Amino acid sequence: MSHPFGGRSHYSVIIVGGGQAGLSLSHCLQQRGIDHLVIEKRSLVHSWRTQRWDSFCLVTPNWQCQLPGWAYGGGDPHGFMVKDQINEWLAGFVAHVKAPAIEGVTVERVSRVPGTGERGHDRFAVQTDAGNYTADQVVVASGGYHRPIVPRLAEKLPASVAQYHSAQYRNPAQLPEGAVLVVGCGQSGAQIAEDLHLAGRKVYVATGDAPRCARFYRGREVVDWLADMKYYDMPVTEHPLREGVRDNTNHYVTGRDGGRDIDLRRFAMEGMELFGLLEGFDGGALAFKPNLRDNLDRADSVYNRINASIDGHIAAQGIEAPPPSVYTPVWEPPEERTRLDLEAAGIASVLWCIGFSPDFEWVDAPVFNGRGAPVHRRGVTGVPGLYFLGLPWLHTWGSGRFSGVARDAEFLAEAIAQKREMAAAGRQPGDEAREQQQTAAQLRAA
């Protein structure tokens, strides 16, 4: 089977995934003159076009959009780009990088083949549905959001109820007439619930343990305060939760209409109906845990705790700012309702907004934990030459976002270059110890 770029089948580096992470690394490798190939299953940066609803906008300000060589350059750095603006900006990034990429090609397996490279070095075999390749090093940059999570509970719901995952939602008109149950209140769930609510739809929300944060506090964007406090520079190794922070649900807030808080309690005052965690369906009624009050209180506690940390920073730095405040609930659940009759409530559709699970089954390497997540240190795995990029909290809060992936890509590009230099200098097979020590020293110094 023929291959692109003059029929080549071997590359120094193969990057699996053509989103912002894979393209960022391509930019960094091009700067170093390292030959590589980006393999993308669909089209470059496709998820921003195909997996976002019509009113989608960034929840972080535009100034944080800092891809390598392609920072946001518009006239509204403290605004929040909407879907079309994001895709226009990303299209410019694609044209800027000019990555050596093939699209519409699925990588089916990546495996290490010992001693098959020059001087007896290991290589990686990369099998695709469009031919096979080999590479000295491989970077998995396909992200961590692969399989939409839909619980087995969905199978019990009547066929008359339309069901969608958040990745399939586009706008309220897409859904059949009638009430909507939104399951989950993380970033997607809370924003979609708001979108439906503002459109005049009757909305029920099954809440979870998602935290929330303020959009503006004491005269500034909360993100600006946290940036000054160096929160976005904190590596995962220094976070109080360590690697556990990677499992946290994102705080819900919105950049819609210039940015504002999302307060489910206020929506409840306006007719949205809130419940605790959805846990069952008995053929006629949905069953919920009696934990709505706890879920709301926990989200507000995080909200106030973030603001209190900003208060501490302002005091410590002697900054003049408007006075502090504490959020107090504007609404309390009158009772803990644990059942909801589906037909009586008029629910015609359910939106599952409970996230995605990773799928790395095609990576044949002993680098995963019991939950199928890669074990790494800043993207560097225990298998020399195999890396990950673009995962949430790969290194910092911004690793899976526009704000931090450039730094991670630069780091991995340097690690890749160093491994190439060691190989060119005559490193012998079996001398992994020296390489691991050098990588560890690099990580400590970073």
- At residue 1, the pLDDT reads 41
Instruction: Let me know the angle formed at the C-alpha of 252 by 248 and 254, rounded to the nearest 5 degrees.
Output: 145
pLDDT, tens only, 136-162: 999 999 988 788 999 999 999 999 999
- 149-354: what CATH class? alpha beta
Distance CA 205, CA 358 (A): 25
Domain 4-146+358-445: assigned CATH number: 3.50.50.60
In this prediction the pTM is 0.92
User: Running DSSP on this structure, what letter comes out for residue 118?
Assistant: G
- At residue 143, the pLDDT reads 86
pLDDT, tens only, 7-50: 789 999 999 999 999 999 999 999 999 999 999 999 999 999 99
Count of H helices and E strands in the chain? Answer: 10, 22
pLDDT at position 2 over 50: no
pLDDT, tens only, 261-316: 999 999 999 999 999 999 999 978 999 999 999 999 999 999 999 999 999 999 99
pLDDT at position 428 over 80: no
pLDDT at position 233 over 50: yes
Backbone torsion region of residue 178, taken as left when φ is above 0, otherwise alpha when ψ lies between -120 and 50, otherwise beta: left
- Helix or strand or coil: residue 144? coil
pLDDT at position 6 over 90: no
- Helix or strand or coil: residue 181? strand
Pick from 8, 388, 345: which is nearest to 158 by CA? 345
- Per-residue pLDDT, averaged over 171-187, amounts to 97
CB half-sphere exposure, 248, CA atoms < 13 A: 19
Q: Interhelix angle for 405-424 vs 432-445, to 10°?
A: 150
pLDDT at position 95 over 80: yes
DSSP 328-387: --S---SS---EEETTTTTEEEEEE-S-EE---TTEESS-B-TTSPBP-BTTB-SSTTEE
End-to-end CA distance of the chain: 43
Q: What is the mean pLDDT of the chain?
A: 93
- At residue 117, the pLDDT reads 57
pLDDT, tens only, 380-405: 999 999 999 999 999 999 999 999 99
Is 178:223 a contact under the CB 8 Å cutoff? no
- At residue 439, the pLDDT reads 56
pLDDT at position 79 over 70: yes
pLDDT at position 440 over 70: no
CB half-sphere exposure, 305, CA atoms < 13 A: 9
pLDDT at position 429 over 50: no
Is 412:379 a contact under the CB 8 Å cutoff? yes
Supply 210's token pair. 């998602």
Q: Which part of the chain has CATH 3.50.50.60?
A: 4-146+358-445, 149-354
Instruction: Let me know the angle formed at the C-alpha of 210 by 406 and 225, rounded to the nearest 5 degrees.
Output: 50
